[in-house]
Each structure stands twice: as C-alpha cells, then as structure tokens.
Amino acid sequence: MRLRNIPRADGVIKSHPMVVQDTQKSRGNWKNIFGNDRPVYLEIGMGKGRFLMNMAKEHPLVNFVGIERYSSVLLRALEKYDTEEYKDLQNIRFLCMDATEIENVFNQGEIRKIYLNFSDPWPKARHARRRLTSGTFLDRYAKILPPGGNLEFKTDNTELFRFSLEEIREKEGWRLDKYTYDLHRNDEMNQGNIMTEYEEKFSSLGNPINKLIATRL
C-alpha cells in the first residue's frame, strides 16, 4: 500500500522535542539523552505508536525508543504523543530512520530488548533478507543487544512467523525461548500483553496472533 505523503510531517518531526535529530551523535550517548541509566527498549517499525506509548506508561522505570521509517506515519505517532493521555511521558524518544542503520545509532548493549510488531512480511522469496526477522537483521540486533538481551515478535502472518522461527533456530548466537500460534489463548504469554493497532484490528476479525520470544546468547 502506498503511503500518502503529508507535507508538514518533516517540519513537525524536526521541531518535536521527543524526536532525536542527530542520530550520528546518539550512539553510545543514550544515557545522556534520557538523563538516566535505566534499561532501553526499542520498537522497530512502531507505526502510529500506540504500543510504545502504552508500554512507556506501564513501565515508567524503562526508557523506550521507537523507530519509524516513514515521516507521515511518525507524524501520526507524534500527534498521539501530544494528546493529554501521553504528553507527560518523559521515558520515550522517537527516531525517523531505516532499521538497517541501527548499528550506527546504538552501541553494543545499549538496547536491552527489541520489539517487532506486525512487520512487513516481504512475501516474495527474493526479498527475504528485508524481513525484520531474517538472519541479516538478527546479526544487526546482536550488535546492539547484550548477552541475555531479548527479541519479541508478534504477527498475524503465519508464513512469516514460521520463517522467523526457523531463522532464529538456525542462527548461531540465538535461542528461541517461547512461541505460540495463538497469543490471546495462551495465558502465560498473553499476560500483560499490550496490543498494537493492527493486533486489535486483526484479532477482532478472528485472526490468531503469533508471538515468539528469543534471547541473544
């Protein structure tokens, strides 16, 4: 689906206090950016930001960073942040960037947990390396997570989920901890679950939600 360009998006992003502007200077500097040494959790492809902002509300002693590639989508997240419900959150920051650049933005161990929610499935085989759970991206995540750092992935796309399970199982330096093909019927894994916009939409249609949790060794 082609995204509609919103001309004012770039201006809002460049002036918003919660958007980190100079990503080249952020690597190794996240404690200073947040003003504390609390753990940092990262969502890649955060969309309109509902999951990330609700996580920040629920976990005030954790810092959250959201990456969104498309400025028009990030604009919608910033508009959500600026509402009464979220505008006082200080444990959150936003980045407008491509996920392929994360090694240039975060040092080894600066990110304690990575969330991938309803990522683009890139269904054609020739595009498999672009999937955010591919071995190529697992290598990138291993460069910013410490040993024991976690990856959590949710999707309604079962084929992508099966691909992801195999990529993690076969990737040296990773351990698949838990997974389910029906999150909302799995009491253990669904405990404390915060839904994304897509998750609420798909589950309301009766689509089961898949989830996995993996650890960098």
Catalytic residues: 120
Show binding-site residues for S-adenosyl-L-methionine: 43, 68, 98, 120
Closest CA to 210 of 156, 151, 159: 156
Torsion of CA 160, 166, 171, 172, to 10 degrees: 150
* CA distances (Å), origin 135, targets 85, 156, 166: 38, 20, 10
Q: What one-character DSSP code corresponds to residue 94?
A: E
Show binding-site residues for substrate: 124, 156, 196-199
Residue 155's beta-bridge partner residues?
210
Name the token pair of 96: 């407008």
Q: At what angle do helices 71-81 and 50-58 cross, to 10 degrees?
A: 40
| DSSP-assigned letters across all residues of 178-208 | EEES-GGG-HHHHTT----HHHHHHHHTT--
